[in-house]
Amino acid sequence: MQNLRFQRALRAVDPSLVYRSNDVYDKRIGDVIVSVKDVSERAEVVCVLIGVPQHIGVERNGGRPGAADGPSSFRRAFTKLAISAFEQHIDSGRLAIADAGDIDTEGKTLEQIHDEQYDVVAQVLSSGFVPIVVGGGHDTAWPTIRALEAQGRPYGVVNIDAHADVRPLKDGGRAHSGSPFYQMLTQQPSHLQAGGFVEFGLQHTCVSASHLAFVRDAGMHAVMLDEIRRHGCLSAWGNAWPHAAAAGNVYVSLDVDAFASAYAPGVSAPAADGLSPADVASILRDASESGKLRAFDIVELNPAYDVDGRTAKLTAVMAYEVVTGLATRL
Amino acid sequence: MQNLRFQRALRAVDPSLVYRSNDVYDKRIGDVIVSVKDVSERAEVVCVLIGVPQHIGVERNGGRPGAADGPSSFRRAFTKLAISAFEQHIDSGRLAIADAGDIDTEGKTLEQIHDEQYDVVAQVLSSGFVPIVVGGGHDTAWPTIRALEAQGRPYGVVNIDAHADVRPLKDGGRAHSGSPFYQMLTQQPSHLQAGGFVEFGLQHTCVSASHLAFVRDAGMHAVMLDEIRRHGCLSAWGNAWPHAAAAGNVYVSLDVDAFASAYAPGVSAPAADGLSPADVASILRDASESGKLRAFDIVELNPAYDVDGRTAKLTAVMAYEVVTGLATRL
Amino acid sequence: MQNLRFQRALRAVDPSLVYRSNDVYDKRIGDVIVSVKDVSERAEVVCVLIGVPQHIGVERNGGRPGAADGPSSFRRAFTKLAISAFEQHIDSGRLAIADAGDIDTEGKTLEQIHDEQYDVVAQVLSSGFVPIVVGGGHDTAWPTIRALEAQGRPYGVVNIDAHADVRPLKDGGRAHSGSPFYQMLTQQPSHLQAGGFVEFGLQHTCVSASHLAFVRDAGMHAVMLDEIRRHGCLSAWGNAWPHAAAAGNVYVSLDVDAFASAYAPGVSAPAADGLSPADVASILRDASESGKLRAFDIVELNPAYDVDGRTAKLTAVMAYEVVTGLATRL
């Protein structure tokens, strides 16, 4: 029995966000997505959406609010996508896309929200399902890392991002959207693979020398945008991915500001230059086809700055690449 | 005598849309474009603009209106372009760019508009001129296909698009912006080359498995965006083009939503990912230099969603590539 | 003593435009930029910002106003950038980024403004510093060329642009944003290297045949966007750069409309197609690493049409590439 019943109460998805074609010849994700309670026992690959509608961590980091609406904006775009890349596997029941709903953030501190998210992600991972967490700010990564840690198996982490997000905690030890990987590298994770953390797409203009040194002094890897260009994206990825993949279990975090802002205007901290949709699609496909991807997230989608839903659609397409890649294992 | 006198009355172009530099050292298309009645007998290559200012087909397909303003927006941008790529051929009179005006859509049904467009495009084709039809929704392609069919010669068709546009007709057999290639493939065209239809740039997120199967079961070709990336655009095009070109006469339809919406925000149905201007320019140049391009159109330009004329300018530049390529035969 | 005291009074930079992190572990350009009066004697590479806040030349050329706010918009974005690419050289004092402030344009004619800019740039060049001039319209290039000329040494010029900017002067011999290279090529510069002017990224849709002929008849080079695509940007650059570099001293002018407008919406005359940030970053890096770059400018940034600061950030990143490249000589 694969059906998940979370100990934590999640908020149900607003049905008006879910697009349905109601046309068997034109199925969209909204036609086939199921509640996490209703995943078929036949499903061998199960992707579970988990929304984290908050931007407390962004605000603590001095960023502009709006990411709290990320999960809704994502779902509206994601459920509208046609499922042709994996329709046969949905039809056979071997692939399931489930929605767990949103973490209940109402009236909670960031620390409480993180604890709730930790519980949910840990349960999803324990079930062998692949969580697709939609933030929220990048602090959203930290509870996912704790949940991976709790699985008791070695893991690697890839952060696709313009920024390193290894800033120290704020006064009083408070986490924020710039600190998740600082927390990961300082709070002695016992199962993070040695050398198993890769930052991919960092821009010199977005990261300080001391933050870069912090990553590298920890034996980890920072792959800068200009290196990626010199070598070509897939080639640079081919050099970087094995570091994270050595553990056999990888979590990939996609900060939407890794894209040039022409493609992704709706983010908390836009970068004028950055990766292209083709770049990120190709590396997400590679990661998800590897059989080693255990968790994925999309963070810093900020609909308040989006242009005609462009960024929401882009994040939806990126999640779709992950589902497509996972389905190739079937 | 090459001068065309259409049996159908077209609406004259609003002169305020036509940019003129009135500077012989800085000629723009608006300085050299002629009425279709005034094409010189010396002209060996004649491109004829035909506007189809309607979005009835888009609305029938549940899309957002605005494409009716496509032709005006296109002309404003197109006539402003400098003619340096083919100025010698304009000056020698061997190349002509003519404007037939707009199909008169006032108070007409989509079917009536299609019939009018059919007549005009058929006359242009019969004259050996190359129609450049500016929609309007993608239903605009259907009367052009009928006009090709009426020439009595084999032809191939390339659709550059994120979507397949092979949806069945709506209730009562009504055409819409998603159905032109369904109509082409089901209404027994006798001269469409076997295997001569190529869909290029389709995205799995934008097309259903059954629509893809419909295309392929008809012996036709669907080239997906991710394949195009894997092989490189010109290389994927090099594999696809011969299928359409085998007939010796090719019609290329460019749906503006084939572009990533960063480049083309002003469309009826934007896609976050997609082809780049460089991609499409290179394949349009290849097609038009082949000596086999008989008709071209630009559809789904929707100025209501454009950003500072970006999409209108992009479509203008794409039409310019076609004129440039055609002129290389001189 | 390297401290520059300009004979001309410049307007001090509004401190509210200068971002400071005040965090030694996260230094930004705003934390380390100095007044041009305070450049350390140890500095071996000194970049000097000079703002030219006017759009008189744009208006004379019939363009849309707004570029007068370019310098402020640039500074806001530039001072926010992290300095990781060259932090060691800032810390050692061997690299300095200085700000001379803005040319005082208040109540002046374009000719008076150009004379003021000429004096300032000439002094900066005489000091062996590298001016980074931020316009204003492209007429801003002309006083910089005069200042290079005044150095009495051979020089080459590269213009990265969609347009050729070799238009004749307006009535009464008045300069404008489309005329700087016309002035350069007609006003008998004695030290411009024979064949040493390269226009890179020109688009056939943006330049007339007679303007192209004017450049080529002068023995100079126009590299069109479609050629750049056929050969690959770095390869096309590798062919073009030696023409300008032969002189040993090169001035590179970056017109922001060389970028596709998806990346750079905030310009006076946007082009739908164009170079990408990756393209321009790579060639600027190449130029600045050569040891031959003597002057750089960014022109036609027009914040009135920008989208969420995207274009300002892009120009800031491009200036950063130049600083990074210059610092590789240390």
- Mark yes or no for CB contact A311/B270 under 8 Å: no
Q: Where are the beta strands (DSSP E) in B32-134?
A: 34-35, 45-51, 95-103, 130-134
Closest CA to A203 of A133, A132, A270, A252: A270
Structure tokens at A306: 């989006």
Per residue in A249-287, pLDDT tens? 999 999 999 999 999 999 999 999 999 999 999 999 999
Query: Which of the four pLDDT bands, split at 50, 70 and 90, describes residue A156?
Result: very high
DSSP string of A41-75, one letter each residue: TT-SEEEEEEE----HHHHHTT--S-GGGHHHHHH
Indicate the residue of B85, B263, B310 with minimum beta-carbon distance to C204. B85
Closest in C208, C229, C262 to B84, CB measured: C208
Task: List the single residue in B204, B265, B307 with the smallest CB-CB distance to A82.
Answer: B204
Cβ atoms of A302 and A64 within 8 Å: the answer is: yes
Interface of C with B (CB under 8 A): 167, 203-212, 226, 229, 260-262, 265, 270-273, 305, 307
Least CB–CB distance from C272: residue in B87, B88, B317: B317
Q: Using CA coordinates, name the residue in chain B closest to A263.
A: B262
Interface-testing mutation among C23, C84, C97, with chain A (most A C-beta atoms within 10 A): C84
CB contact under 8 A, B209 and A309: no
Chain A residues with CB within 8 Å of chain B CB: 24-27, 81-85, 87-88, 262-263, 277-278, 281-282, 285, 307-311, 313-314, 316-317, 320, 324
The pairing of beta strand A10-11 with beta strand A95-103: antiparallel
Query: For residue A2, what pLDDT is reported?
Result: 57
| DSSP states along C38-70 | G--TT-SEEEEEEE----HHHHHTTPPS-GGGH
Question: What's the mean per-residue pLDDT of chain A?
Answer: 96
Cis peptide before B70 (omega within 30 of 0): no
| Chain C contact set for A271 (CB, 8 A) | 313
Distance, in Å, from the CA atom of B223 to the CA atom of C100, rounded to the nearest integer, reads: 55
Condensed to tens digits (0 to 9), the pLDDT of residues B172-220 reads 899 999 999 999 999 977 899 999 999 999 999 999 999 999 999 999 9
| Residues of C in Cβ contact (< 8 Å) with A307 | 307
Show residues of chain C in contact with B83, CB under 8 Å. Answer: 208-209
Per-position b or e across C172-194, b if 16+ CB within 10 A of its CB: eeebbbbbbbbbbbeeebeebbe
List the alpha helices (DSSP H) in chain A: 29-32, 56-60, 70-78, 87-92, 110-126, 141-150, 180-186, 209-217, 225-231, 233-245, 277-289, 310-327
Rounded CA separation C328/C330 (Å): 5
Residues on chain A touching C88 (C-beta within 8 angstroms): 209
Read off the pLDDT band of A3 (50, 70, 90): low
Digit-coded pLDDT (tens) for C111-163: 999 999 999 999 999 999 999 999 999 999 999 999 999 999 999 999 999 99
Neighbours of chain B (3+ CB pairs under 8 A): A, C
pLDDT tens digit string along A105-129?
999 999 999 999 999 999 999 999 9
Is the pLDDT confidence value at C195 over 60? Answer: yes
Q: Would you give the distance in Å from CA A200 to the centre of its chain? A: 14
Best CATH choice for the domain A10-327 from the list 3.40.50.2000, 3.40.800.10, 1.10.10.10, 3.30.2270.10: 3.40.800.10
Percent of chain C with pLDDT over 90: 95
Distances (CA, A) of A308 to A15, A79, B202, C169: 21, 17, 21, 42
For chain C, what is the mean pLDDT? Answer: 96
User: pLDDT at position B46, please?
Assistant: 98
Distance from CA of A313 to the nearest CA of B (A): 6
What are the tokens at B84?
A: 């340096």
Residue of B nearest to C62 (CA): B21
Using CB atoms, which chains have 3+ pairs under 8 A with C?
A: A, B
How many whole angstroms separate alpha carbon A188 and alpha carbon A123? 22
Helix boundaries (H) for chain C: 29-32, 56-60, 70-78, 87-92, 110-126, 141-150, 180-186, 209-217, 225-231, 233-245, 277-289, 310-327
What does the pLDDT read at residue C266? Answer: 98
Instruction: Give chain B positions within 8 Å (CB) of A317.
Output: 203, 205, 272-273
Return the pLDDT at A1: 40
d(CA C78, CA C68): 17
Show which subunits contact A, needing at least 3 CB pairs below 8 angstroms: B, C
Question: Chain A residue with minimal CA distance to C311?
Answer: A272
Closest to B82 (Cβ–Cβ): which among C206, C265, C273?
C206
What are the tokens at A190? Answer: 């016992």
CA pair distance A225, A235, nearest whole angstrom: 13
Across the range A298-325, mean pLDDT stands at 98
CA distance A282 to chain C (A): 18
For residue C290, which phi and psi values (nearest 5 degrees)?
Answer: -75, -15
User: Most C CBs within 10 Å: which of B27, B79, B84, B318, as the mutation test of the C interface?
Assistant: B84
Q: What SS3 state is found at A275?
A: strand
Residue C214's pLDDT band, with cuts at 50, 70 and 90, is very high
- pLDDT at residue B181, as a whole number: 98
Look up tokens 């389905």; give the residue.
Answer: A327
CA distance C11 to chain B (A): 33
Q: Give Rg (Cα) of chain A.
A: 18
Q: Which residue of C has its CA nearest to B87?
A: C209
Q: Chain A contacts of B260, Cβ < 8 Å?
A: 263, 277
**What secondary structure does DSSP assign to A237-248, as a single string?**
HHHHHHHHHTTS
Q: Let me know: does B163 contact B256? Beta carbons within 8 Å.
A: no
Interior angle at CA B37, CA B35 and CA B38, nearest 5: 70
Question: Which stretches of chain B sit within 8 Å of chain C by CB?
Answer: 24-27, 81-85, 87-88, 262-263, 277-278, 281-282, 285, 307-311, 313-314, 316-317, 320, 324
User: Which residues have CB under 8 Å from C242's CB, separation 6+?
Assistant: none
> Confidence band (pLDDT; 50, 70, 90) for C2?
low
Segment B217-238 shows an average pLDDT of 97
Please write the tens of the pLDDT for every residue from C247-266. Answer: 999 999 999 999 999 999 99
For residue B2, pLDDT over 60 is answered with no
Residues B29-52: pLDDT tens digits? 999 999 998 999 999 999 999 999
The two structure tokens encoding residue C101: 């402030």
Residues in A touching B273 (Cβ below 8 Å) = 277-278, 281, 314, 317
End-to-end CA distance of chain C: 20
Residue whose C-alpha is closest to residue C98's, from C287, C315, C284, C323: C323
Q: Looking at CA atoms only, how far is residue B210 from chain A in angstroms?
A: 6
CB atoms within 10 A of CB C272: 24
Q: Are strands B192-202 and A34-35 parallel, antiparallel or unpaired?
A: unpaired
Size of interface B-C (CB pairs under 8 A): 73
Of A212, A261, A270, the CB nearest to C84: A212
Contacts of B323 (CB under 8 A, 6+ apart): B47, B85, B86, B95, B97, B288
Alpha carbons A316 and B48: distance in angstroms, whole number: 40
The pLDDT assigned to A94 comes to 98
Give the pLDDT confidence score for residue C1 in this predicted structure: 39
What's the pLDDT score for residue B293? 98
Q: How confident is the model at residue C189 (pLDDT cuts 50, 70, 90)?
A: confident
Buried b (16+ CB within 10 A) or exposed e, C24-61: eebbbbbbbbeebeebeeebbbbbbbbbbbbbbbbbbb
Contact check, Cβ <8 Å, A272/C82: no
Q: Which of A182, A202, A204 to mutate to test the interface with C (most CBs of C within 10 A)?
A: A204
Q: Would the pLDDT of B3 be above 90? A: no
Return the CA Rg of chain B.
18
Put simply, the answer to whether C204 touches B324 (Cβ < 8 Å) is yes
Residue whose pair of structure tokens reads 């530049």 in the numeric block: B317
* CB-CB neighbors (< 8 A) of C227 in chain B: none
Q: How far is C98 from chain A (nearest CA, A)?
A: 18
Distance of residue B55 Cα from the nearest chain A Cα, in angstroms: 20
The predicted model gives C41-54 an average pLDDT of 97
CB A65 within 8 A of CB A59: yes
Contacts of C261 in chain B (CB under 8 A): 308, 310, 313
Residue B274 clears pLDDT 60, i.e. is over it: yes
Kindly tell me if the per-residue pLDDT of B1 is higher than 50: no
pLDDT digits (tens, 9 = 90+) for B65-119: 999 999 999 999 999 999 999 999 999 999 999 999 999 999 999 999 999 999 9
Chain C hits for B26, Cβ within 8 Å: 167, 208, 210-211
Instruction: Pick the residue from chain A with its C-alpha nearest to C23.
Output: A208
Residue A6: its pLDDT value, please? 81
If residue B56 lies in a helix (H) or strand (E), which one and from where to where?
Answer: helix B56-60
| Interchain CB distance below 8 Å, A270 and C310 | yes
C-alpha distance from residue C143 to each of C113, C137, C267 (Å) = 9, 12, 21
Residue A57, number of CB atoms within 10 A of its CB: 32
CA–CA separation, A161 vs B37, rounded Å?
58
Average pLDDT over every residue of A58-75:
97
Which pTM was predicted? 0.96
A207, A270, A273: residue with CB nearest C281: A273
The percent of residues in chain C predicted with pLDDT above 70, rounded, is 99
ipTM at complex level = 0.95
User: What gap in Å lies between CA C215 and CA C218, rounded to an integer?
Assistant: 5
